[in-house]
Amino acid sequence: MSKRQDSNAHPPHEASPLRVLHVGPGQGQRGGIASVLAELGAQRARFQHAGVAVAIFETHGFQSVKSLWCFVLLDIPRFLFAALKGVDLIHFHVSVRGSFYRKFMLCLLARLLGKRTIFHLHAGNFQHFFASSGWMTRKAVSCFVRGADAVVAVSTAIATELRGYEGVTRNLFVIGNTAFSAEAMAGAALQEAPGANATDMTSYVAFAGRFTEGKGLDELLSATALLRRQGLRIQLRLAGTGDTERWTRAAIDYGVSDQVHFVGWLQGDAKLAFYRDAAMFCMPSHFEAFGISTLEAMFIGRPVIGTCVGGFLDLVEEGVTGYLVRCGDAHALAERIRRLMESPDLARAMGRQAVSRALSRYSVDAIVGQYIQCYRKVSQSKGE
């Protein structure tokens, strides 16, 4: 199946649909996997048309003792009930630490019930988690991954990592994420006139993600300070959650506090407007399994500056839709920001190329079609 193949090309099945239960975070939790589940849930009709019935099972996190007990006393019984209601496949969306341990425990129960399972890795730092864990966790990883009927990676880089685990040699799929709301604005981004907003475009650099060192915030602040010393005062707007107080102090230490603005957690139209009004999107992550916020910015028509890791290698075409720099290289980051700030026509041209790339590779139709292909392959391989 090609990446652009429309899942709606398949006629509805007359037989009972293949029933897939997606397991991931919920109960008020935020983050990349929660966004993926929301996107999948919104596409139930597309899946149903292709003969797949999708259900979402949300677990509590392990952020507190109370949530841990909620998982044990509420989630586990609810999961057993859901799994026994005629589910054919159980699709586990996995990250590190608590996410891994929760899904592993539920996976053991699923296998005891004779259910086929899919291990779907969303974490760019999973290899570090594996290497720094004790032997019991490493054994659990091996059991979880090797015992799955299919393994899904969100990017080519994550697939390469998964191939390093002994036994992952078949039914390995690379399926990226979608950004349905942002995709709906792609047409307007492509039609933007070459000279539009050349004089009145708000000249800020947009960042969206968790406020952590792993997202490259220190390098972003350092690059902002370097550009200031060179005479270019950019505005940096940071959307997301995390230790805002810590990074506010860091901005003060770098001498750029008047250029840095924390805009909080954005959703819906506010988030799309945040991308639209920016000159570019910048995410200098140390690891990034995929990069949903990067894809959203691409659909809106903004060039991206990322790093040479993980999902960026699939999303960003160097010099065409944006730039990739080495992790931790604040000087290279500053140089790329300057180039786009001082060449708005280049930035808009890259933004239009970003829209085209996003549509060709990560449209809802393309991604749903890849999920359907995965499920059919697993279903047909039963008993092999």
Residue 194 has pLDDT above 90, yes or no: no
CB 298 within 8 Å of CB 354: yes
Q: Which two tokens stand for residue 169?
A: 């040699």
Share of the chain above pLDDT 90, in %: 78
165 vs 89, 130, 156, 168, 377, CA distance in Å? Answer: 22, 11, 15, 6, 21
For residues 271 and 2, which has the higher predicted lDDT (pLDDT)?
A: 271
pLDDT of residue 200: 45
pLDDT of residue 100: 95
Instruction: State phi, psi for 112 to the nearest 5 degrees.
Output: -65, -30
pLDDT of residue 4: 42
Q: Which residues are paired to 306 by β-bridges?
A: 324
For residues 342 and 30, which has the higher predicted lDDT (pLDDT)?
A: 342
Residues in the chain: 384
Average pLDDT over residues 127-147: 93
Q: What angle do CA 373, 376, 382 make, to 5 degrees?
A: 140
**What is the Cα–Cα distance from 360 to 380, expressed in whole angstroms?**
28
Instruction: Determine the 3-state secondary structure of 260 from DSSP.
Output: strand
pLDDT of residue 165: 74
**What is the Cα–Cα distance from 184 to 300, expressed in whole angstroms?**
9
Q: Where are the beta strands (DSSP E) in 279-349?
A: 280-282, 304-307, 322-325
Per-residue pLDDT tens over the stretch 231-275: 999 999 999 999 999 999 999 999 999 999 999 999 889 999 999
At residue 79 the predicted structure's pLDDT band, cuts being 50, 70 and 90, is very high
Q: In what order do the strands lie in the sheet with 18-25?
A: 52-59, 18-25, 89-94, 116-121, 150-153, 172-174
Average pLDDT over residues 144-162: 93
pTM of the model: 0.88
pLDDT of residue 305: 98
CB 95 within 8 Å of CB 59: no
Q: Which two tokens stand for residue 105?
A: 């425990």
pLDDT of residue 164: 80
Q: Which two tokens stand for residue 119?
A: 């291990």
**What is the Cα–Cα distance from 229 to 219, expressed in whole angstroms?**
15
What domains does the chain contain, in order, with CATH numbers? Answer: 7-178+363-380 (3.40.50.2000), 181-362 (3.40.50.2000)
Q: Which two tokens stand for residue 85?
A: 């209601």
- Give the residue among 275, 270, 251 at the shortest CA–CA distance from 262: 251
Average pLDDT over residues 208-216: 94
At residue 113 the predicted structure's pLDDT band, cuts being 50, 70 and 90, is very high
CB 306 within 8 Å of CB 289: no
pLDDT of residue 198: 44
Residue 141 has pLDDT above 80, yes or no: yes
At residue 187 the predicted structure's pLDDT band, cuts being 50, 70 and 90, is confident
316-336 exposure pattern, b = at least 16 Cβ within 10 A, e = fewer: bbeeebbbbbebebbebbbbb
Per-residue pLDDT tens over the stretch 80-95: 999 998 899 999 999 9
Q: Which two tokens stand for residue 52?
A: 């797949």
Residue 283 has pLDDT above 80, yes or no: yes
pLDDT of residue 286: 95
For residues 231 and 194, which has the higher predicted lDDT (pLDDT)?
A: 231
Residue whose tokens read 């949903």: 292
Residue 202 has pLDDT above 50, yes or no: yes
Average pLDDT over residues 102-130: 95
Q: What is the DSSP string of 49-107?
A: HTTEEEEEEEE--SSSHHHHHHIIIIIHHHHHHHHTTT-SEEEEEE-STHHHHHHHHHH
Q: Which residues are paired to 236 by β-bridges?
A: 205, 260
- Give the residue among 272, 379, 271, 282 at the shortest CA–CA distance from 340: 282
pLDDT of residue 1: 41
pLDDT of residue 62: 82
pLDDT of residue 28: 57
pLDDT of residue 171: 87
| Beta pairing, strands 280-282 & 204-208 | parallel
Q: What is the DSSP string of 159-184?
A: HHHHHTSTT--SSEEE-----HHHHT
pLDDT of residue 262: 97
Q: What is the DSSP letter of 12?
A: P
For residues 357 and 35, which has the higher predicted lDDT (pLDDT)?
A: 357
Amino acid letter for position 321? T
